[in-house]
Structure 1
Amino acid sequence: MIKRLSLIALILVTLSSCVSKKIYTDLEDKYANLKKENRRLTDDLESTTADKNKLANDLNSLQAAYDEAVKERDQLRSDYAASQTNLENLKASYEALEKNSSAEIAKNSKKNRELLAQLEAKEQALAAENERLQKLKKELDSRSQRVAELESVIAAKDANMRALKDAISKALTNFEGKGLTVEQRDGKVYVSMENKLLFNSGSWSVGTEGRKAVNQLGNVLAENPDIAILIEGHTDNDPYKGNAQLSGNWDLSTKRATAIVNILRENASINPENLTAAGRGEYAPIASNDTAEGKAKNRRIEVILTPKLDEISKLLNDI
């Protein structure tokens, strides 16, 4: 059996060495373009989260301004009531003084006119303040509605990602305990497959069991066309000593990621525009490379599923 496996591995290596430099260069160019697109999507997500936080801060500021305006209006009402009381007192004084002298009557009449002018000015100020409060409240309600819509969209996308994670977990149940994990964090779904499930040492050819797992994952992804799919290849820090056609671990990790992409592309229902292959080499470990167990965990393929943010971006542009 070992001799047979060695013979198959030798044949695969011989076949892979026949790939032309043009095909390899095309793959490298496509990888660079897809990597830029992945970076743009990541930046869009971070920008969307920052915009949401800014909008929440603006809403709090607007609420504080509204509360201050209500306080000022209440003060104006209080001043208006006090002025009315003063007016009544002056009217009473006017009636008493009217009997004593025309000079006093003239004096009180002037005070009354001044007080009436003050009351009119306060009434106008109160009316203007009420109008400003109405406009402020209308703007506050509008902002609150937009924030609610944005939060609803984000919540829906989170729910969709949870459903996607559950569907993937269910589809890949048979591979539990074989180096495959599925988890959701930061609004994304991460499917991690250790190399022992996918590749032989130093090879980027996917084995039968690994191909079966990737195909079952592809069946779930085909039903979710609005998901961006990033396939990352990772290695441990042992220097690569295999095929001389490769320059090292980074090159190997890229070829392994591309191999997974090619299997997914066999599913005609998966949009190739949603796929990105990336090699991370040894530079994104999840465990220590000081132990054999840690090295095994670091040798992996990660499939990172990200919701598309077109709807959220449109909402932000409308605010």
Structure 2
Amino acid sequence: MSLRFVAARAGMLVVTVLVSSLAIYGAMFLTPGDPATLLVGGSRDPDPAVLAQIHREYHLDDPFVQGYWHWLSNCFQGDFGKSLVYRDSVADLIDARAGDTLALVAYAAVLVLTVGIVLGTVSALRGGRTDALVTTVTAGAMAVPTFVMAVLLIWLFAVQLPWFPVYGSGEGFTGTLSHLTLPAVALAMTWIGYVAQVTRTAVRAELGAEHVETARSRGVPEWAVIRRHVLHNALGPVFAVSGVGIAGLFATAAVAEQAFGTGGLGALMIEAAAKQDMAVVQAVSLIFVVVFVVLNTTVDLVSAALDPRTAQKGAVR
């Protein structure tokens, strides 16, 4: 993996974050009228003193670029401002909710990796009816949106079969695990389908590779052929799609959090948007963008390390 490839990916990360943050900050100014009125709930007759305070606090009287840079630099120092709706520091609000989102995404990521890779591997190795069944199920999982899956899971496992709670994030390890099972499954289901399909394709491609046939002709045990030659060489594309999937879990976590009332960052952003609490919306949006871009860049770098041809193609482009 060349330094040029690493520098290119790092540059793309910085540019993506800057452009996204500019769009997040500038969205407030696209609304007609004084952006400060959004921060007081769009009141028709806001207190001029309150508006003046908001202008000073958010630097709305500054030139756009200067105000944007002041906001962005404060954000990267951990100062996201103050929520006028919740009457609390935005950083404290995020700190109180971040754990729920991380727990949900971690649970969903474990499901994506374990279930997706196992299903894809079994499908490729066994073939026949097993392959057809797994392909059909995973294709169906990919087609069902998260909010639809959430409704189906609630109906089946909370109404018809009252096995799991459907609201809140629980307390303690056992309680948290029980409360997050359904939202984690709803969140992970689409990416389980993607990972299973990519794993199946990668494993089947390696099964017909020349080096696998050579290993078999030398009398290497089948289990060793599968582990050392097939699964090891199929790791690259599987890791790539898994990494993108885990990054995608952060992007769609808000749907599962809202459906099951787990109270994470996604739910906080939706609640803040409904109340026009722009300071919270901007901060959470920026965090999601940074996490998503960093994870995708990390996946690119690790994929290039696993398969140098990826780095060579990226350097050529």
Normalising to structure 1: TM-score of the pair?
A: 0.26
Instruction: Say which one has the larger Rg.
Output: 1
TM-score, scaled to structure 2: 0.26
Structure with the higher fraction of residues in strand conformation: 1
Q: Which has the higher contact order (CA 8 A, sep 6+)?
A: 2
